[in-house]
Amino acid sequence: MRVTGCRTGLRLAIVEAAVPPSGMNDADRLPVGPHVPSLTGRTVLLIAGALLVVPLLVLIVKDRLPGPRLARSAQRLVLVVAAQAGAVGLVFLLVNGQLALYASWADLLGQQPAPVPGRHPTLAQQAVQRRVAQAKLAAPMDRAVKATPRRALDGVLVHTRLRGPVSDVQTSMDLYLPPQYFQPAYARVRFPVAELLVGHPGSPAAWTHRLRVDADLRAGVAAHTSIPFVLLMPNVNVAGRLDTACYDVVDGPAVDTLLGVDVPAVAKATMRVRRDAAGWAVGGYSEGGYCGAYLAQRHPSTFTAVLGLSGAYNSSKLALGAPVIYGTDPRRKLEASPEWRITHLPGARLHYLLTASREETDGTFASTVAFAAAVRAPSTADTIYLAHGGHNPRNWARILPHALSWLSQLPGMDTGMPASDRLTAVSQIPAWSRAS
């Protein structure tokens, strides 16, 4: 792993890292808010285990089937098809369990609720929907807090749904409140926020189920390499199988408004979080990195920092149905490209952390290098390039602790934090992952 372009002057030491894992057990991580049937839970994995029995049953009974020859052949065919379906289902469930691509059957089938095309709530309707959204966020938070006796040690993970007051788009959202949120010393502290986005397809559950960002945060705070953040993890995939690229789709869901306006506004009104841009970051992995850069450029009064883990920053490189997303005006697609925007449109000061692996063969590495080179003052860009590894959660999980440390060192990010939380160490990049 190599850190380059550190124009912010932040420190990332290259030595062997040894950060202990979190003590949170699986019971503490179960959904507390409105329940959505899970495709990554234990029940489905037990079903996957049961599917292993199907091929064995086929081998046992295929020569013991009763009836005439034609009937036996038909029954064998049914058994073979069942065995093949079981094998395919097992592979899908195991892969989905590792990558958390789909959190529910609705995600898989593309049945997420979508707004009425072209609907724009009036100011009065927005005010009503804002109160409703705040109440719907506060209720599962209260239930989760009461159901988590170890909240001052492990924090609280909340699963809920949100309907954007301005965008009128409905989505699911996970949020993580760190242990410090419930400790008396922080009773008057407003916490910095990281809004974390997944790629397409993807589910917010990936951040805590596969990447375990909450555990990394607790470990970083304990090691004084990170300050405590509130983590917001909204589902960006709100239009079924349509990849919106976090854009306000023409005559469709206003995803940019949902993520850049509604989510921050409802969070600020409901939680003890920072209200200034210096306390907010946005970003994610894969297309979530692209979305983070685009949203920060579009809403610089809300966000100051961008995390781009294996993102591609030119909209022309995304596999999108451009006329469906952007309409017939070609400029709309140009303006949706973070790389184009940073060179053609004036913008406020933003801080970027851009990461990629040299072995990513889908153009991600080249796009990251080009975008980092295009960043100009007053904005800054820091980069982490892995020597090995592909476009997968394993690489993103390696980078996350360093990304949290990088965020913690940004100017103004620790405003209001107790002196005991000031960083006394910096994130340590493992020597074994350095680029040669």
Yes or no: say if 409 and 426 are a contact pair by the CB < 8 Å rule. yes
Q: Are residues 135 and 92 in the same domain?
A: no
| Mean pLDDT, rounded, for 12-40 | 36
Q: Are residues 132 and 246 in the same domain?
A: yes
Instruction: Assess whether pLDDT exceeds 60 at residue 322.
Output: no
Residue 207: inside a domain, yes or no?
yes
Residue 113: inside a domain, yes or no?
no
Mean confidence (pLDDT) of the chain: 78
Q: Are residues 87 and 169 in the same domain?
A: no
Residue 111: inside a domain, yes or no?
no
* Type of residue found at 108: L
pLDDT tens string 233-244: 999 998 877 888
| Mean pLDDT, rounded, for 333-359 | 90
Tokens standing for residue 357: 């692996």
**Structure confidence at residue 305 as a pLDDT band (50, 70, 90):** very high
Looking at residue 234, which CATH number applies to its domain?
Answer: 3.40.50.1820
Instruction: Assess whether pLDDT exceeds 80 at residue 18.
Output: no
Q: Where are the beta strands (DSSP E) in 275-350?
A: 280-285, 305-309
Q: Are residues 197 and 232 in the same domain?
A: yes
Residue 102: inside a domain, yes or no?
no
**Structure confidence at residue 401 as a pLDDT band (50, 70, 90):** very high
Q: What angle do CA 164, 168, 170 make, to 5 degrees?
A: 65
Of the ranges 78-82, 101-105, 328-332, 397-401, which one carries the lowest mean pLDDT score?
101-105
Q: Are residues 76 and 160 in the same domain?
A: no
Question: Three-class SS of residue 85?
Answer: helix
- How much is the pLDDT for 48? 62
Residue in the block written with tokens 């990170």 = 226
Q: Looking at per-residue confidence, does 16 or 280 come out higher?
A: 280
- How much is the pLDDT for 50? 66
Q: Are residues 287 and 152 in the same domain?
A: yes
Per-residue DSSP letter, 273: B
Residue 116: inside a domain, yes or no?
no
Cα 332 to Cα 327: distance, rounded to the nearest angstrom? 8
- How much is the pLDDT for 241? 75
Q: How many domains does the chain have?
A: 2
Helices (H), 23-150: 42-51, 53-61, 69-99, 105-109, 123-146
Q: Are residues 31 and 150 in the same domain?
A: yes
Please give the model's pTM, rounded to 2 decimal places. Answer: 0.75
pLDDT tens string 390-399: 888 889 999 9
Cα 243 to Cα 239: distance, rounded to the nearest angstrom? 7
| Mean pLDDT, rounded, for 114-125 | 56
- How much is the pLDDT for 25? 38
Q: Are residues 135 and 11 in the same domain?
A: yes
Q: Are residues 280 and 335 in the same domain?
A: yes
- How much is the pLDDT for 39? 54
Yes or no: say if 232 and 175 are a contact pair by the CB < 8 Å rule. yes
Query: Phi/psi of residue 327, each to 5°?
Result: 80, -160
Domain containing residue 68: 42-97
Residue 108: inside a domain, yes or no?
no
Cα 281 to Cα 407: distance, rounded to the nearest angstrom? 8
Torsion sign over Cα 383, 389, 390, 391:
negative
Tokens standing for residue 327: 């309409």
412: left (phi over 0), alpha (psi -120 to 50) or beta: left
Q: Are residues 16 and 89 in the same domain?
A: no
Q: Looking at per-residue confidence, does 378 or 81 come out higher?
A: 378
Q: Are residues 26 and 72 in the same domain?
A: no
Q: Are residues 290 and 217 in the same domain?
A: yes
Instruction: Assess whether pLDDT exceeds 50 at residue 44.
Output: yes
pLDDT tens string 252-300: 899 999 999 999 999 999 999 999 999 999 999 999 999 999 999 999 9
User: Over pLDDT 70: what percentage of the chain?
Assistant: 67
Cα 90 to Cα 198: distance, rounded to the nearest angstrom? 24
